[in-house]
């Protein structure tokens, strides 16, 4: 692919009118000083303040600035996805619009992709300027869980300041709330040259964060969903079928054992308890039913998967003809 710019800076925003003028000036200063060709793609995620007006005015002054405006708030993942679609730079850098991410980090992030050959460089906010109780501690627990599940050794998976090669952003689909796990999406797509860089983190200068503590709960659930889909998405029978078979066999064996035990006691004239009077029998029966249901769920999922348009979609690195 032929790149028209050195750098595409993708910024998703929602009601950040106060910080936008300063952020745009700061980015322009860095780009001019370093001599990069660049584009700034700003996706307004349904802002209700004057954010879009500021973007339009900036675009009239500087043709390197481009804008996308949503009719309503769709979420950060949707905004980043549209920015990735529009990006034409060799290196694509994402950052937040609240001035907590410093544009001064851009040159080194660009160098690590363009010269060192990394495919993804994730920012690591070593010294966070957020509230320690509501942001720092939950973030540490969240990132520890993410490292364990994904196998990617990043200290700050959720950092908005990241750099990608253009090939990465054109071969992944960011949806739902999966913007937190773009490195994991990329890894599943075959891009495994992933590293991190400590970055400067600043206190929020204007307004307040648009994300509450619930994002960590939602993030954990999204992570489990992504792990399940990446592991069993194209082979659901491997999970549902195997689990259903084990559950069915366990319930069947327990039921059979209860019946045989009752017969042996009865034949030997010993006191026995009717099978239907034992709670374990009903638990075993429940296991049999659940096992059958899970097996059928796997079978149906397999039929859906085999008829999916994505069943034979593979990321090809290069070909020789």
Say which residues have a Cβ less than 8 Å from residue 14's Cβ, sequence separation at least 6: 44, 45, 46, 47, 51, 73, 210
Range of the domain at 144: 5-231
Indicate the residue among 176, 207, 231 that finishes a domain: 231
Percentage of the chain beyond pLDDT 70 is 84
Q: For 223-280, what is each residue's pLDDT tens digit?
A: 777 677 666 666 777 788 888 899 999 999 999 999 998 898 888 888 888 888 888 9
* Closest C-alpha among 36, 42, 34 to residue 91: 36
User: How many domains does the chain contain in total?
Assistant: 2
- Nearest CA among 46, 45, 39, 7 for reference residue 24: 39
Rounded Cα gap, residues 174 and 135, in angstroms: 24
Domain boundary among 197, 231, 265: 231
Which pLDDT value is given to residue 168?
Answer: 95
Clarify whether residues 216 and 261 are in a common domain. no
Least Cα distance to 26 among 126, 103, 114 occurs for: 103
Instruction: Kindly state whether residues 161 and 201 are assigned to the same domain.
Output: yes
Same domain for 197 and 276: no
Q: Is residue 157, in this structure, part of any structural domain at all?
A: yes
The answer on 189 and 138 residing in a single domain is yes
Classify the C-alpha dihedral 224-313-165-6 as positive or negative: negative
β-strands 89-96, 120-124: how paired?
Answer: unpaired
Last residue of a domain, one of 231, 249, 268: 231
User: Whole-angstrom Cα distance, residue 308 to residue 247?
Assistant: 28
28 and 136 inside one domain: yes
Q: What is the pLDDT of residue 224?
A: 73
At 306 the pLDDT is 66
Specify whether 159 is located in the same domain as 65: yes
Mean per-residue pLDDT for 149-156?
A: 84
In terms of residues, how long is the chain? 321
Does residue 241 sit in the same domain as residue 214? no
| pTM recorded for the entire structure | 0.73
Quote the distance between the C-alpha of residue 312 and its chain's center: 22
Please tell me whether residues 255 and 181 are part of one structural domain.
Answer: no
Burial of 31 from C-beta contacts in 10 A (0-12 / 13-18 / 19+): buried
The answer to whether residues 184 and 286 belong to one domain is no
- Could you tell me if residue 176 is inside a domain? yes
Residues 202 and 261 in one domain: no
CATH number at residue 17: 3.90.550.10
Q: How would you class 26 by CB atoms within 10 Å of its CB: exposed for 0-12, middle for 13-18, buried for 19 or more?
A: middle
Buried b (16+ CB within 10 A) or exposed e, 68-98: bebeebbbbbbbbbbbbeebebbbbbbbbbb
Task: Output the CA angle 59-61-63, nearest 5 degrees.
Answer: 55
Q: Alpha-carbon distance 316 to 67, whole Å?
A: 31
How big is the chain by its Cα radius of gyration, in Å? 26
């Amino acid at each position: 692919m032929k790149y028209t710019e050195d750098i595409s800076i993708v910024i998703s925003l929602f009601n950040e009118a106060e910080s936008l003028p300063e952020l745009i000036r700061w980015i322009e200063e860095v780009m001019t000083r370093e001599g990069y060709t660049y584009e700034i793609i700003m996706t307004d995620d349904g802002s209700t303040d004057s954010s879009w007006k500021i973007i339009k005015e900036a675009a009239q002054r500087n043709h390197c600035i481009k804008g996308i405006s949503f009719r309503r708030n769709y979420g950060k993942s949707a905004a980043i996805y549209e920015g990735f679609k529009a990006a034409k730079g060799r290196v694509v850098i994402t950052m937040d619009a609240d001035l907590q991410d410093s544009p001064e980090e851009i040159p080194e992030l660009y160098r690590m992709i363009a010269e060192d050959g990394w495919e993804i460089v994730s920012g690591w906010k070593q010294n966070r300027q957020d509230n320690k109780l509501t942001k720092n501690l939950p973030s540490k627990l969240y990132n520890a869980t993410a490292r364990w599940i994904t196998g990617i050794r990043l200290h700050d998976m959720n950092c908005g300041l990241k750099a990608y090669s253009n090939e990465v952003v054109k071969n992944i689909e960011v949806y739902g709330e999966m913007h937190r796990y773009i490195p994991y999406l990329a890894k599943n797509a075959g891009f495994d040259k992933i590293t991190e860089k400590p970055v400067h983190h600043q206190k929020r200068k204007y307004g307040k964060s648009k994300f509450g503590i619930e994002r960590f709960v939602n993030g954990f659930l999204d992570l489990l969903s992504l792990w399940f889909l990446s592991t069993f998405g194209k082979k659901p029978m491997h999970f549902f079928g195997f689990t259903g078979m084990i559950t069915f066999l366990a319930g069947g064996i327990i039921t059979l054992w209860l019946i045989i035990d009752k017969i042996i006691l009865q034949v030997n004239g010993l006191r026995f308890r009717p099978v239907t009077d034992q709670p374990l029998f009903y638990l075993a029966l429940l296991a049999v039913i659940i096992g059958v249901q899970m097996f059928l769920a796997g079978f149906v999922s397999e039929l859906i998967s085999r008829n999916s348009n994505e069943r034979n979609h593979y990321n090809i690195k290069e070909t020789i003809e």
